[in-house]
């Protein structure tokens, strides 16, 4: 644990380029200006109560935590971004795919793979995660570091912790999640003696090439380039190793395909029952076949659980695949079958471009 804490501290100092405070107990710098009058969480009693509780549980300086949370700014655009699309809004896999599996990302992915081939091959050897999956993740998330987000992470996490939109169907659960992430983020800032208002990331508080949340940094980030610090912002090797470690921790099975093509025997098809578990692998290959799914020879020999995954195509017929445990592992990064398939297909396209 001491070595891990030291690595995290070095990461936050070097990777985020956060100016170290002469004395962190004097409080963080407030950061970037906004075009509209700022609303600070110092005016919110529940935010300061959370700060007091956090300081007591984590043995942090109470005034420093109160100042950090109190100086965080409410960002009104963020709650709107967290709301799901209206019910009944059509999903379209082909349109979604076109946003990510496109020439800019493929060209950038080809360059990234060529420049980081050794790290990708090593990650595959050590963690069992194919290079094309790692390349797919980093391309979908940030176009290999080109778009890592420009929200102050402290503001984003505070906004979602204390003002998560009540209209969201899982508002209480998600607000609790972001309070835990805010707690992790402030704990890391305290340990490294750094300004929590320095790091920039997505509107959800995710950071770096792989868009790790604070809890994922703690659990899965690794110093893959061996320079003595974890830098998920500027070290491609650290990002590669950390993504591979993340998947290993979420059940990735080396050598297993992510999915299989399927066809249907409509006379026997029990589609509603097959789609009920959503993307959670639940059925054996034999069970799928008994309910009207036609599998090729490789899929029929698959020994682990499978899920029938539906990708809607607007008004056209949906696309279906049989997802394996590795398909499900990709959805642990983002709970979406559309996301997982975009990662898989971007990685494959980059691999094909590399072969050419």
**DSSP per residue, 129-152:** --HHHHHHHHHHHHTTTT----EE
CA distances to 47, 118, 240, 254 from 124, rounded to whole Å, are 43, 10, 10, 9
Query: Exposure of 152 by Cβ count < 10 A (0-12 exposed, 13-18 middle, 19+ buried)?
Result: buried
pLDDT at 267: 95
Catalytic residue among 124, 141, 181, 310: 141
Give whole-number Cα distances, 272 to 17, 85, 276, in Å. 51, 23, 6
- CATH code 1.10.10.60 for 2-84+149-206: no
Q: Catalytic: 141? A: yes
Give residue 35's pLDDT: 58
Tell how far CA 278 is from the center of its chain.
Answer: 20
Rounded Cα distance, 25 and 60, in Å: 9
Residue 214: which H helix or E strand, with range? helix 214-220
Confidence (pTM): 0.87
CA distance 252 to 243: 11
The pLDDT profile of the chain, 356 residues, written as one tens digit per residue, is 343 333 333 333 333 333 333 233 434 444 444 456 789 999 999 999 999 999 999 999 999 999 999 999 999 999 999 998 887 778 999 999 999 999 999 999 999 999 999 999 999 999 999 999 999 999 999 999 999 999 999 999 999 999 999 999 999 999 999 999 999 999 988 887 779 999 999 999 999 999 999 999 889 999 999 999 889 999 999 999 999 999 999 999 999 999 999 999 999 999 999 999 999 999 999 999 999 999 999 999 999 999 999 999 998 999 999 999 999 999 999 999 999 999 999 999 999 999 98
Domain boundaries, the chain: 2-84+149-206, 259-323
Q: What is the pLDDT of residue 88?
A: 74
Q: What is the pLDDT of residue 6?
A: 38
Encode 316-342: b = buried (16+ Cβ within 10 Å), e = exposed.
Answer: eeebbbbbbbbbbbbbebbeebbbbbb
Distance, CA of 55 to CA of 113 (rounded, Å): 43
Q: Is the dihedral of CA 225, 231, 233, 238 positive or negative?
A: positive
Instruction: Quote the CA–CA distance of 319 and 323 in Å, as a whole number.
Output: 12
């Amino acid at each position: 644990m001491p070595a891990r804490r030291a690595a995290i501290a070095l990461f936050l100092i070097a990777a985020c380029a956060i100016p170290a405070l002469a004395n962190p107990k004097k409080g963080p710098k407030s950061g970037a200006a906004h075009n509209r009058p700022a609303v600070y969480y110092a005016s919110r009693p529940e935010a300061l109560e959370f700060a007091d509780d956090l300081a007591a549980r984590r043995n942090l300086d109470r005034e420093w935590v109160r100042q950090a949370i109190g100086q965080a700014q409410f960002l009104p655009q963020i709650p709107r971004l967290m709301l799901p699309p209206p019910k009944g809004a059509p999903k379209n896999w082909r349109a979604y795919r076109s946003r990510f599996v496109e020439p800019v990302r493929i060209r950038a992915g080809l360059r990234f793979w060529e420049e980081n081939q050794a790290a990708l091959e090593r990650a595959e050897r050590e963690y069992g995660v194919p290079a094309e999956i790692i390349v797919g993740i980093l391309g979908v998330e940030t176009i290999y570091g080109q778009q890592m987000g420009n929200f102050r992470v402290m503001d984003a996490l505070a906004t979602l912790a204390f003002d998560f939109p009540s209209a969201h169907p899982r508002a209480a659960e998600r607000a609790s999640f972001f309070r835990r992430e805010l707690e992790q983020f402030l704990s890391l800032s305290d340990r490294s003696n750094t300004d929590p208002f320095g790091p920039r990331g997505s509107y959800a508080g995710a950071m770096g090439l792989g868009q790790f949340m604070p809890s994922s940094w703690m659990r899965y980030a690794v110093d893959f380039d061996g320079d003595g610090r974890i830098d998920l912002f500027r070290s491609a090797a650290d990002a590669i190793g950390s993504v591979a470690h993340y998947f290993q921790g979420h059940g990735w099975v080396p050598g297993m395909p992510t999915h299989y093509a399927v066809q249907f025997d409509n006379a026997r098809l029990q589609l509603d029952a097959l789609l009920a578990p959503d993307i959670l692998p639940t059925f054996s290959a034999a069970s799928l076949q008994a309910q009207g799914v036609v599998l090729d020879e490789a899929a029929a020999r698959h020994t682990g659980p499978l899920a029938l995954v539906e990708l809607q195509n607007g008004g056209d017929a949906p696309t279906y695949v049989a997802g394996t445990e590795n398909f499900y592992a990709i959805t642990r990064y983002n709970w979406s079958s559309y996301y997982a398939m975009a990662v898989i297909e971007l990685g494959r396209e980059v691999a094909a471009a590399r072969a050419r």
